[in-house]
Amino acid sequence: MQTIRSISIGSAFKVGAVTSILLFAIIGGLVLLLQLLLGGIIGLGAGGREGAGVFGAMAGFGIIAYLFGIVIYGIIGGISSALTALIYNIVAGMVGGLRVSLD
């Protein structure tokens, strides 16, 4: 049995940030695709050319929100992972680390 006594805060930040970015990119990309598909169908069907203009504005907003979300989600994911590593290091110093079996 090996004991994990501490976790590098910088390493936890990097892993948390990249994991959060990938998760948001996949799920957010699917949501964006759904928004674009449904928005196009509804916009063109309901309003003709005027509906297409509204769809274009909404599509632009959706893409900007998606890109902004990737950045924000990466920052929040990195910070939360770093804080989790910091708390783990404090607790592991008081009660011992996590014991794992490595083969």
pLDDT digits (tens, 9 = 90+) for 5-28: 899 999 999 999 999 999 999 999
Q: At 48, list the tokens.
A: 């003709």
In the chain, where are the structural domains located?
11-80
pLDDT digit string, tens, across residues 53-100: 666 667 778 889 999 999 999 999 999 999 999 999 999 999 988 889
Question: What local confidence, expressed as pLDDT, does residue 1 receive?
Answer: 86
Q: CB of 78 within 8 A of CB of 20?
A: yes
Contact by Cβ (8 Å): 101, 1 = yes
